[in-house]
Amino acid sequence: MKETIGLCLIGAGRAGMIHARNFASRVPGAKMTAISDVLEESAGKAAAELNIPAWYTDYRDALRDNAVDAVIVVTPTKFHRNIVVEAAEAKKHILCEKPMAMNKEECRGMIEAAKKNGVNLQIGFMRRFDANFRRAKEIVDSGAIGQVVSVKSLTRGPSVPQEWMYDIKKSNGPLAEVNSHDIDTLRWFTGSEVESLYAMAGNYRCEDARGKYPDFYDTVLMNLKMQNGMLGNIDGAQGVRYGYDARVDILGTCGLIQIGGLSGNTTLTFTAEHRIQGDVVRSWTNLFHEAYVQEDISFVESIRRGTPPEVSGLDGMMAVDIVRAGNESIQTGRIVFL
């Protein structure tokens, strides 16, 4: 067992820096040894903040750094495949943020490269590491609600998409950017793959996208049937403004599990104007802060112990393929069988 794992962050944006700060201070057996970002200012700033000795504008230079044992890939999705394959060939372990890649073929190549080179490939579905989600999984597995009948998973984000996200060919749309976690949640709690699905979507908030990107949608509903007969429903939206909303209902034959809520805490104010006021969850960075820590701890432990990661490349690939099928259903108006 190697005592300390040297890590390099590839992509020093908001999500990437969550991981970097965790590995720098809260993950036993981990040490941030390098930063890579195409923007020199971002790479240098991140390295200075975390007192990291090396930073690069080309990730290939980081892959040649002997102090780097593993990489965290947090770049736009279209770059994931090449970075992950090259990292695997350089014998670096990989934590790749979701969505894993643009299509199933890219995912398969990433999985094969990791297997061929004997390195771990973990996909960033951090909800599997959230204490509430893990407790719900324990309850499901205990049989306390009987057989699972359906899983409803909802994610709605407050921010308006960046322009590159409007192009479905480049982003794979909100099903990928927003609902990948919901898709993984559905597979995890049902323990099954998708048999068929039907999705509907529309653009209700992003007026700037309607002319140039007529296929873009900011709201989507998707119904799914699993191979084991269980049912699923996914609800996604961008630009809702009211807060960050992530909830799950797991209905069984003799019970129900509910995860999450929009309230930031349980404190409510009742005023003389006959109003109720409370705080709302503002961002995924608040809601799942500790889940990211536990995800990063699990990644390093899998490397140190030589065990498979808790969330595999297969998990990432299946989510990508379900996104593809969902977008196909939106475009054709038909049920899609996987």
Q: Is residue 79 within 8 Å of residue 57, measured between CB atoms?
A: no
pLDDT the model gives residue 155:
97
pLDDT the model gives residue 262:
78
Q: Which of 324-338 are b and which e, b meaning 16 or more Cβ less than 10 Å from the residue's Cβ? A: bbbbebbeeeeebee
Confidence tier at 259 by pLDDT (50, 70, 90)? very high
pTM of the model: 0.93
Two tokens, residue 325: 């099928």
What percent of the chain stands above pLDDT 90? Answer: 88
Provide CATH 3.30.360.10 ranges for the chain.
Answer: 128-288+319-337
pLDDT the model gives residue 275:
80
Confidence tier at 156 by pLDDT (50, 70, 90)? very high
3-state SS, residue 231: strand
Q: Is residue 57 within 8 Å of residue 35, measured between CB atoms?
A: no
Q: Superfamily assignment of 5-127+290-310 in CATH?
A: NAD(P)-binding Rossmann-like Domain (3.40.50.720)
128-288+319-337: what fold?
Answer: Dihydrodipicolinate Reductase; domain 2 (3.30.360)
Mean pLDDT, range 134-149, rounded to an integer: 96
**Would you state the torsion angle of the CA atoms of residues 17, 21, 27, 29, taken in this order, to the nearest 10 degrees?**
90
Q: Is residue 120 within 8 Å of residue 94, measured between CB atoms?
A: yes
The predicted-structure confidence for 278-305, as pLDDT tens digits, reads as follows 777 777 667 788 999 999 999 999 999 9
Average pLDDT, the chain: 94
Q: Is residue 66 within 8 Å of residue 91, measured between CB atoms?
A: no
Does 239 have pLDDT greater than 70? yes
- Flag the least confident range among 50-64, 214-228, 248-262: 248-262
pLDDT the model gives residue 286:
72
Does 196 have pLDDT greater than 90? yes
d(CA 195, CA 115) in angstroms, rounded, equals 27
The predicted-structure confidence for 313-336, as pLDDT tens digits, reads as follows 999 999 999 999 999 999 999 999
Confidence tier at 265 by pLDDT (50, 70, 90)? low
d(CA 205, CA 168) in angstroms, rounded, equals 16
Provide CATH 3.40.50.720 ranges for the chain.
Answer: 5-127+290-310
Two tokens, residue 243: 């807060």
The predicted-structure confidence for 44-95, as pLDDT tens digits, reads as follows 999 999 999 999 999 999 999 999 999 999 999 999 999 999 999 999 999 9
Confidence tier at 269 by pLDDT (50, 70, 90)? low
